[in-house]
Amino acid sequence: MKKSYWGIKLQDLFLFNCGSSHHSYRFMGAHPLKWRGKQGVRFAVWAPTAQAVSVVGDFNGWNSAGASLERAGETGIFVGFIEGLEQGALYKYRIVSSEDEVLLKSDPYAFYSERRPNTASIVYGLPEFEWSDAAWYSSRQKIPSYERPLLIYEAHAGSWKIKGKEDYYTYAELANMLVPYVVEWGYTHIEFLPLMEHPLDQSWGYQVTGFYSPTSRYGSPEQLKQLINECHMQGIGVILDWVPGHFCKDEHGLRRFDGSPLYEGADWKRAELPLWGTLSFDYARSEVRSFLISNAIYWLEQFHFDGLRVDAVATIIDLHMDKPPELHTLNADGGHINLHAIAFLKALNETVFHYYPNLLMLAEDSSSYASVTKPTYMGGLGFNYKWNMGWMNDMLRYMALSPADRTQQHHLLTFSIWYAFSENFVLPLSHDEVVHGKRSLLNKMWGSYEQKFAQLRMFYGYWIAHPGKKLLFMGGEWGQFDEWKDQDMLDWDVLQYDSHQSMHQYVKKLNHMYRNQPILWENDFDPACFQWIDVNNSEQSQISFIRRSKSGLLLAIVNFSGNDYSHYRIGAPEYGIYSLLMHSNEVEHGGTATAVTREIHSEEIPMHGQAFSISLELPPFTFMLFSFTAKDIEPRGDDVDGS
């Protein structure tokens, strides 16, 4: 038996077969190298049931025979070296299946691919990039992410701004445009919708064919690295939307890769995802686990992403999710949880945090599965954050109600606190909520044009003050009226109108206020950070609460009704001065409040179970946030010692 195959050690192949290869991309796929004095490209591809595998491409005129690869023992991997081949060559694998079917497949490990509609892989090594983000990495090590602000700007690279129809800005151009904007508006991170190669623009990158290929729509892998490097230089983290739950059925992709159900598994009921027209991965197969875990490490190691938002966790772990009854299957225990998927997710997170302890692993999970953000040694899945889909659904449902109906649905406002500390939550206002006829965030609000703006400002204030980290999809920051159109650029033109411009500046001020107030983020996941003042005021549709931390306290008041209260009294926990930080209804933000009191002194009048209270003017559809400065209680006349 050979000790190696053109430099690939048997140990590497063994680990790949066992599901324990964390860096399989270092030897799988196409790698330019010099072997025994000869320059060329080494190929390695997993096709265990194939009779034969060869490489065809522009270098041999797409000759039907191709350059044959050698079977590496019993590993199921075919390996070969083509002398004289250079970076940039187009290629595919020609696979003869066990049934004599001839398949032309793109490389699952291709590091670069042709732009659609073409589907060939491109020989593209792992070139060194001159990173200059050491200071960013050093700062990231100092404080756990839980104790830092996390305000994510979710963006789709193909529609934030574009030059024209299907004429996109490159990664490098986005580095000069998007990054300064995100910095100016106060976000801490950009989260990109999937950037892997995909054939259909309308899938937004969620139906992948090239899991290791940065999509060629926006330029080269080096340009993507340039974009991320610039983000880090400007103090911005970058999160990649990652899709390990399914893949599309295009013939050049993973489906029946060697003529057999390989990546998708043999049980078609489990493989089929009819809602999306895709196939789910077979997490029971060790080589599939090596492929996926290595893919996660690839993006983190080679591109310096600061985290992964793992898509569709609910679908990954639930055998029945998004499937009709005829496709339901059961696990070995008779339940509907995918036990192999659970094991995969735990192994994924353990591996990622082994190499990158301070990374962000965010689960986009709509299920009620417990302990998603608990460590695996405590029985959890091992993520460090989970999207709070319950909060998002309840709040958007509530904001669409008329003020009269809100009095009967007050629980939609308050229920989230019952479970807010059961996981480490991110409060997402994401792309999924502003497409497919769901309307934009602004247009979800009840009421007239002016009332919609007032309520969106109020809603954003409540979102910022509620425990949990934050995520907002692009366009929401200026109140885009139309829902997201993935084939067109965002409606930047609406910023010529005062209402949208005022919203834009309000969100900017709100974001920076959040960044500058540690009370809003340094202990998000400690129940001690939150205290209700008035929680049951359903008749007036109002809530008030305290945020606390070692840095002090903030008092938040939200009026979800259309009524104006000129002398509204609420309880206050301490005696002193309450200074206004944010008022969503001020004229400068597009509201109607002209005379706003900046400081309010609490009084020794008990209210809402508190020893003190404050009186203020509370306009309709308004969010107000106050900081607090303690002050000694002045003695009353009958308390003065007259001796």
pLDDT, one tens digit per residue, over 302-337 is: 999 999 999 999 999 999 998 999 999 999 999 999
Distance in Å from the first CA to the final CA of the chain: 104
Domain boundaries, the chain: 4-122, 149-244+282-520, 527-630
CATH placement of domain 527-630 = 2.60.40.1180
Question: Helix, strand, coil proportions of the chain in percent (round to 5)?
Answer: 30, 25, 45
| 527-630 matches 149-244+282-520 in CATH topology | no
Which one of the listed residues 364, 477, 574, 586 is annotated catalytic?
364
Which one of the listed residues 191, 258, 311, 524 is annotated catalytic?
311
641 has pLDDT over 70: no
pLDDT, one tens digit per residue, over 126-147 is: 878 999 999 998 888 888 999 9
Q: How far is CA 133 from CA 179, 230, 309, 320, 433, in A?
A: 15, 8, 22, 43, 34
pLDDT of residue 298: 98
Percent of the chain at pLDDT > 90 equals 89
pLDDT of residue 66: 84
pLDDT of residue 634: 72
269 has pLDDT over 60: yes
Per-residue confidence band for 637, with pLDDT thresholds at 50, 70 and 90: low
pLDDT, one tens digit per residue, over 455-504 is: 999 999 999 999 999 999 999 999 999 999 988 999 999 999 999 999 99
pLDDT of residue 636: 63
CATH 2.60.40.10, applies to 4-122? yes
pLDDT of residue 594: 84
CATH architecture of residue range(s) 149-244+282-520: Alpha-Beta Barrel (3.20)
643 has pLDDT over 70: no
pLDDT of residue 638: 56
Active site (annotated) includes residue 364 = yes
426 has pLDDT over 70: yes
Report the DSSP pairing between strands 237-242 and 189-192.
parallel
516 has pLDDT over 60: yes
Q: How far apart are CA 294 and CA 467, in angstroms?
A: 34
| 3 state SS of 559 | strand
What tokens appear for 78 in the block? 């075919």
pLDDT of residue 639: 54
pLDDT, one tens digit per residue, over 552-601 is: 999 999 999 999 998 999 999 999 999 999 999 999 999 998 878 899 99
How many helices and strands (H and E) does the chain possess?
Answer: 15, 34
Q: How far apart are CA 350 and CA 355, in angstroms?
A: 9
Q: How far apart are CA 19 and CA 279, in angstroms?
A: 20
Per-residue DSSP letter, 134: H
- Mean pLDDT value of segment 147-162: 96
635 has pLDDT over 80: no
